[in-house]
A = this chain, B = another copy of it.
């Protein structure tokens, strides 16, 4: 079962040919969750094989343009493709106003329900809970109200292995007994140990998204043990003072959060354009937390438990 994050935009405030502004897509069992939506996200989806019509939920961390300027175009294109399925949008309430005014001037009514879920940056709260995932929003520390997001895969149920069911004509009354842990004995008296015929659910996986934010220790408890953390890393050590003023993080600070929260892996991005090569940022992060990778446009990370 898939649990993978695809980076569509790894850049900071200004897009370049190599890095668009922030946008990630999380694939949870072939259900798709968009996180931030910088300008050009819809074309990046085509480029990197993400089908926009499959996106069900979008989460916009804050209303700086590099995190949402691509949303209106994405919504518009889904409308042009005659989407019918609802689209759930989790964002600060002003975004609804921004979308509505643009619909009004174009005399457009979307072909699909746009379901708006206002964020609240004053507290940590579960904002979505379905069969596959629970999503929690939590406050980050930025110049304007900003939320981080934690996606937790639902613990999968125990299941009898499909091949075994296909091969053996298991009487209906046996199903629940096997799921409850009993060994299966077939009509000929052959015994199959429960362990060998039941799929044990893996540990549930999780993805934490922290962008944009200053170094903010309060997130550690919330994202503790996440399988993968994406954390912005706008600056290098030498510009820690600028990071402080601009409410951004250094790569080292991102890694310190990863270390303190004991996450499985760290992905950093949102690099300031002053660094021609992110190698410096990557190496500073790895001094604190070796299992750090660089976000790159088009990269898909299969997230382990």
Contacts and interface: CB of A to CB of B under 8 A. Distances in A.
A63 B108 CA distance: 11
A298 interface: no
Residue of A20, A70, A73, A97 with most partner-chain B CB within 10 A: A73
A46 interface: yes
Contacts of A15: 42-43, 73, 77
A47 B144 contact: no
Nearest to A15: B43
A106 B17 contact: no
Count of chain copies: 2
Interface string A73-103: 1001100110000000000101101100110
Contacts of A42: 15, 39
A160 interface: no
Contacts of A293: none
B94 A101 contact: yes
> How large, as a class, is the contact surface on chain A?
35 or more
A107 interface: yes
A93 to B, nearest CB: 10
A105 B76 contact: no
A64 to B, nearest CB: 5
A269 B243 CA distance: 45
B106 A65 contact: yes
A97 B104 CA distance: 12
A14 interface: yes
Contacts of A70: 39
A40 interface: yes
Contact of A144 (B66, B76, B95, B106): B106
B73 A69 contact: yes
Contacts of A72: 65, 69
A177 interface: no
A158 interface: no
Given A17-B46, A17-B47, A80-B14, A92 B107 contact: no
A143 interface: yes
Given A63-B105, A63-B106, A98-B105, 17 more contacts: A13-B76, A13-B77, A14-B77, A15-B43, A15-B73, A15-B77, A39-B42, A65-B72, A65-B76, A69-B69, A94-B101, A94-B105, A98-B102, A101-B101, A105-B144, A106-B144, A107-B144
6 contacts: A14-B77, A39-B69, A63-B102, A63-B105, A95-B105, A98-B102
